[in-house]
Amino acid sequence: MTAHPTTQSRSTGASLALGLVVAGAIAGAALLWPGGPAPLPTGLVRVSLPSGAVLYVQRTEVTMRDWARCHDEGGCSLGIRSPRDGKEYPATGVSFVDAQEYIAWINARSGSQFRLPTKAEWYALADEVLPETPDPIFTAPELRWASAYLMEAPGVDRALHPTGEFSTTSTGVQDLDGNVWEWTQDCYDGDPARTDPASCPAFIMGGLHESVMFYLVRDPANGGCASGLPPAHLGFRLVTETRPDGAL
Amino acid sequence: MTKPIIPGMGMANRRSVLRGSLIAAGAVALGGGATLARAARAPMPMQPRVPERLIQIQAEAVAAAPPADLTGYTRVRQELVAPPFAPVHEQVATGGPKIIEVYMETTERLMTVDADTGAEIWALTFNGSVPGPLIIAHEGDYVELTLRNPVDSVFEHNIDFHASTGALGGGALTHIFPGEEVVLRWKATRPGVFTYHCAPGGEMIPYHVCHGMNGTMMVLPRDGLNDGQGNPLRYDEIAYFGEQDYYLPRNEDGRYKTYAAAGDDYSDSLEAMRGLIPTHSVFNGAVGALTGENALRSKVGNTVLMIHNQANRDTRPHLIGGHGNFVWETGSFNDAPATNNETWFIRGGSSGAALYTFEQPGVYAYVNHNLIEAVLLGATAHFVVEGDWNNALMEQVVAPRTFEA
């Protein structure tokens, strides 16, 4: 799914993403989103990373219920339909831009500084529950384009599960080995020097296998000439360095 | 209640008794669906689908015909296998003509269509798979099918072989209710690949076909395939694709409905089918049925015969990264194949075949090249091909790099 956009589409897309974030933040700060107490992401877990840094991490992915509140208050333009079975599900079918809208809303509403994790943070959190990486099926350099093709099923089915049905890490973080791939803030770009998210065409996703997703994609359809099995669902969870109220 | 008349059901007393009870059971099973139907129009009156007089004419003609002369034929049994594979067979016929015995069951089963969205269907199948199994004979052989409808089925079934001649492709002679079996023998007089499908009558025909009940019958020339100029064409393997368009009903919230039993979706399903826009178009019954761990495997130098069946709707297969070296687009092996095609056309209600020899290793995608259907509706399969890369055919001269403005 790593379509390489032209320089033009890159800058257009970036300004769109940035514009939404900025607009959301300004609107949030100015209006403070009237109505009700400020929501905080629920179930934050304090985690010490191998680097020594301390991070407050959402125990679960942002849920459909969380998302519905953002949508109802006008912070998130995308509406997500929930199954009517009374269970809580992760909010999926969200692009990088959608996730940024949510972050702008929650920070403006709660006065916090939540963000997406970096790739390094995400994999440090998930390392203990992720399966070992299978060997590539093609090793010849000319076949590097096909070497990531997944012949082995990643061990889980692709149906969306209720929140909390997959593994829990020793620090209490859930579902990192589930079938929802999570947006990170790490840009995927041919030029390693160019890492500004505002000019980034694609981002790395944390999940059972590392994946790169164009920032506007909500559903990585399982078909076509993508040489491999794409992520089943796209979602996200938030992290922050600043201890919020209610954190464990 | 006026008893409906069903083709092929007018003669046997046992059948009439059975039919009465089954129609009653069917009315109970379908009653719920009928009351739930949103359609404002009046329910269709139960009417004979073929006038009784015509059924009588056919029955009399069948009864009056002399028996077929089967001297010189050898009986062989063909063990059918699930797609995308082909049964054991000869490309060039040896010995005299055969009577090929095959056995199929009309199985109704719940199948996942797309695990990502939870889409599923109570599929109506031949032998439990979508498509039904590939059957192979040679020109001049007989196919002798035993078709059995399990006792626990909901529906009446039958089979129409486009390759056969007469009686609605055998459909009029093969109607079976749950707990019945039938044996049909027909002569393969034309070489080619042909659709077969269930066609019980009326709106049941598209309902059954769009619930998976179709497949390919291949009739090879006795001396095998050729290029139309007398040069033989041979294959190392067969990849058998059945493309299935599904029309799955949704709830008001946009999610796919689930049903407790076969037939419970009947009225919803017909309503969705009237829109003509499928919710899914998939190879071998489900999104991803032939990708990832289920991808087809081959190697450089191997020649594959790709058989494509679409019993209902037009499609246009394309092998991304390869070609159709020889293509029998309409399915007739008496016609010279087209050569070096990029994309070929499969008419709804037919099978076609294309022959290709892999020249490069890697991943190939075999798609319906309406790319909306390939990617968003699911019509994609993959070949994973082993071998050595040939730089004389293609080479990445410069890997992606940044450049100075």
Helix (H), strand (E), coil (C) string for chain A = CCCCCCHHHHHHHHHHHHHHHHHHHHHHHHHCCCCCCCCCCCCEEEEECCCCCEEEEECCCCEHHHHHHHHHCCCCCCCCCCCCCCCCCECCCCCHHHHHHHHHHHHHHHCCCCECCCHHHHHHHHHHHCCCCCCCCCCCHHHHHHCCCCCCCCCCCCCCCCCCCCCECCCCCECCCCCEEEEEEEECCCCCCCCCHHHCCEEEEECCCCEEEECCCCCCCCCCCCCCCCCCEEECCCEECCCCCCCC
The question of whether B89 is a catalytic residue gets the answer: no
Amino acid at B300: V
- DSSP letter (8 states) at residue B376: I
Residues B380/B320, Cβ–Cβ less than 8 Å? no
Determine contact: A153 vs chain B, CB below 8 A.
Answer: yes
State yes or no: is B211 an active-site residue: no
Question: Which residues of chain B make contact with A229, given a CB cutoff of 8 A?
Answer: 288, 291-292
Cβ pair B295:A223 closer than 8 A: no
Give the residues of chain B that fall short of pLDDT 70: 1-51
Residue in this structure with the two tokens 């679409």, named with its chain if needed:
B310
What is the pLDDT of chain A when averaged over all its residues? 79
Q: How far is B290 from chain A (nearest CA, A)?
A: 10
Q: For position A151, what pLDDT does the model report?
A: 55
- What CA–CA distance (Å, rounded) separates A113 from A104? 9
pLDDT attached to residue A209? 83
Strand order in the sheet with B324-328: B280-283, B237-246, B303-310, B350-357, B324-328, B338-341
Q: Is the pLDDT of residue A4 over 90?
A: no
d(CA B365, nearest CA chain A) in Å: 5
On whether any CB of chain A is under 8 Å from the CB of B250, the answer is no
**Residue B41: predicted pLDDT:** 34
Q: How confident is the model at residue A33 (pLDDT cuts 50, 70, 90)?
A: low
For residue A227, the chain B residues in CB contact (below 8 A) are 362-363, 365, 382
pLDDT reading at A3 higher than 60: no
C-alpha B106/C-alpha B34 separation (Å) is 25
Q: Residue B255 carries which DSSP code? A: P
Question: Please, which pLDDT band fits residue A7 given cuts at 50, 70 and 90?
Answer: very low
Residue B350, chain A, CB below 8 Å: the answer is no
pLDDT in tens, B288-337: 999 988 999 999 999 999 999 999 999 999 999 999 999 999 999 999 99
Of B293, B395, B401, the CB nearest to A153: B293
Shortest Cα distance, chain A CAs vs residue B366, angstroms: 8
Residue of A nearest to B388 (CA): A140
Q: Is the ipTM of this complex over 0.90?
A: no
Q: What is the mean pLDDT of the segment spanning A227-231?
A: 69
pLDDT the model gives residue A83: 83
How much is the pTM?
A: 0.81
Residue carrying structure tokens 């095959």:
B102
**Which of A83-92, A223-232, B136-145 is least confident?**
A223-232
How far apart, in Å, are the Cα atoms of B89 and each of A100, B27, B298?
59, 44, 19
Interface contact B363, partner A, CB < 8 A = yes
pLDDT of residue B273: 97
Q: What is the pLDDT of residue A155?
A: 55
